[in-house]
Structure 1
Amino acid sequence: MNSEPVPAPSGAAEPDDAEVGRRFAAGDEQALALAYERWAGQLHGMAVRAFGPGPDAEDVTQQTFISAWTGRARYRPEQGPLPAWLVGVCRHKIADAWARRDRMRREAEAAVSEAQATPAGGTTPPVDSVVTDRMLVLEELERLGQPQRGIIELAFFADLTHAQISERTGIPLGTVKSHIRRTLERLRTRLEVDGAALPA
């Protein structure tokens, strides 16, 4: 009698969602890959609805899986399915991203308001040119669609180089440069109307 084990068929079924959840909680990296394969599209769709297609949505999707994996000890398979838990993590990441945007906007608005106020001595406090530039960029972003908006945010707020933006977004370097150049030209026009000018 042949006692050798029978190999599993090559088309063996993949683990179901519940098994993926249990293995994910146990730290199985293959389960992380399976979770990404099965649910990244759903989470990316949530992020796109919040920010539009582009780098912001992609970053939120990646941050969701990074946060979920590093915080997997908080996931309890017996309390609910893994995709539902991932959706909760994604909602937190979306909220965090909106909070960062709002905080930057408030800080810029406050700095501009303070700079425009003239004290009793009659002298105007110096304007922080970086904050002023960011305020103008924030206003301009309201007029932009994607991918231009994502490119400008990465350039001004993440301080990435043109090459880094191209690498992160997959957009050709020449296209990245042209989007940034056109936006800066619009900003220069706005500043000139206000009696100021961007440095050359």
Structure 2
Amino acid sequence: MARAQIPADLYVLADEDLMAYLSGGHAAAFEVVYARHEAAAFSLAYRVVGERATAEEVVQDAFMNVWRSGFRYDPARGSVRTWLLGIVQRRAIDALRRGGKHARRRASDEGIEEWLPADDRTDRQAEVRDQAATVRAALLDLPDDQRRAVELAYYGGCSHSEIATLTAVPMGTVKGRLRLALKKLRAELAPLAGETA
């Protein structure tokens, strides 16, 4: 089956039109989608994972997913940007979770302190790691829908309306989930902030 003729100037096309060409296997359409959204995708990935190399891997993985499954894009569910950033956000959170597991595994190895320079073993760094572990545990204690809303808002940098689109729930529900989650987190994490619960 012959592929549809692609316009000479793809940059004038809307994202949704580009996705039709991309799902037909047109690499040039993919290049335009990548050029338009790579910076936002990297920014989101970096905010979630906090490391440049990991963020770059997340973005590459997400765009490869778009190349392979562009046909799954449904314009009725939101913009190309929202769909794409949803993929990036999920991949970034997966990378963050994998990274946490690897870090715990490395830290549990016997004699690890002998491999680290002395300045990497300060009391302050240990305290920060303990606090981060406490925050991660508190997040894991939240119901799935509340945790996802918090991850999208604070790790993903998404607005309430973007979260509503990504999770396919009304904005009022998103706000309610965030309010309940933050109330629970505040109560659980009050000792870290020196507050009274």
TM-score, length-scaled by structure 1: 0.47
Give the helix-richer structure, 1 or 2.
2
Higher relative contact order (CA 8 A, sep 6+): 2
